[in-house]
Chain A
Amino acid sequence: EPEVTQTPSHQVTQMGQEVILRCVPISNHLYFYWYRQILGQKVEFLVSFYNNEISEKSEIFDDQFSVERPDGSNFTLKIRSTKLEDSAMYFCASTRGQGYTEAFFGQGTRLTVV
């Protein structure tokens, strides 16, 4: 069964450093997403990406965040200058769209900012 894969599973970084979280969505899916879950809290939408551009972003997704689909298979989330409060589990997801609403989630990347 096709699945969304995320790497790394756990990343530790120093405050102020840049991190890139990587995702490989399901190949025939058209919409890609990043969500964030701070420990013990709800899963929050960050950004959606369609047709090589951001289609929607939340207020959390400020200028320090960016997304890219550099090569037609990978989908990345970059945090330019990490803060302690960026520590969270980041989930990538994809969906076929076009009325197919079920999203497939990756296993997540746990980001720890120290």
Chain B
Amino acid sequence: GNSVTQMEGPVTLSEEAFLTINCTYTATGYPSLFWYVQYPGEGLQLLLKATKADDKGSNKGFEATYRKETTSFHLEKGSVQVSDSAVYFCALSTTSGTYKYIFGTGTRLKVLA
């Protein structure tokens, strides 16, 4: 079946540090991959996406590359800010059937000034 595995949190970094949040997946076929961000008390916001192998999604300084050979979609940012403190969810969606999402467990990021 389909599944997403994310690194455990919380992750605590100082401002301007480099961020990596690991995400690996198991899927039948060729899923689309997503990162969502959830700020405290808020809903899910799409951060970035990639729909095929070697695609790189990017937004607001965050990047992730769809690696089919390692079944990974790690989230990176070169210099985090306090405002990046949130929970980050990796997710996949199949490209047929019901297109439902499978989410990872989420990784809480805390950035200290």
| Chains A and B are bound partners | yes
A108 engages B43 (CB within 8 Å): yes
Chain B residues touching A, range: 20 to 34
Min CB–CB distance B13 → chain A (angstroms): 21
Instruction: Please determine whether B100 and A102 come into contact, CB atoms closer than 8 angstroms.
Output: no
| Pair A101/B95 contact, Cβ less than 8 Å | yes
B89 and A50 within 8 A (CB): no
Q: In the complex, which residues of chain B have a beta carbon less than 8 angstroms from the beta carbon of A75?
A: none
Chain A nearest CB, measured from B41 CB (Å): 9
Question: What mask results when residues 82 to 113 of chain A are scored 1 for a CB within 8 Å of chain B, else 0?
Answer: 00000001010101010101111111100000
Q: Could you say which of B44, B46, B98 contacts A102, with CB atoms under 8 Å apart?
A: B46
CB closest chain-B residue, reference A43: B103
- Residues on the A chain within 8 Å of B100, using CB: 33, 45, 48, 56
Q: Which residue of B lies closest to A102 (CB)?
A: B49
Chain B, interface SS category: loop
**B81 CB-CB contact with A under 8 Å:** no
A50 and B44 contacting across the interface, CB-CB below 8 Å? no
User: Given contacts A42-B106, A101-B32, A101-B93, are A55 and B42 in contact (CB under 8 A)?
Assistant: no
Give which listed residue, B42, B49, B99, contacts A95 with CB less than 8 A: B99
**Is the CB of B97 closer than 8 A to any CB of chain A?**
yes
> How far does the Cβ of B29 sit from chain A's closest Cβ, in whole Å?
11
Is B51 an interface residue, CB under 8 A from the partner? yes
Cβ–Cβ contact A56 & B97, under 8 A: yes
Within 8 A of B (CB), among A9-47: 31, 33, 35, 41-45
The residues of B that contact A45 with a CB separation of less than 8 Å are: 100-102
**A103 touching B93, Cβ below 8 Å:** yes
Shortest beta-carbon distance, B86 to chain A, in Å? 14
Interface: B34 (CB within 8 A): yes
Q: Which residue of B lies closest to A35 (CB)?
A: B101
- 3 nearest A-B residue pairs (beta carbon): A107-B43, A101-B32, A48-B98
Binding site for B on A (CB under 8 A): 31, 33, 35, 41-45, 48, 50, 55-56, 89, 91, 93, 95, 97, 99, 101-108
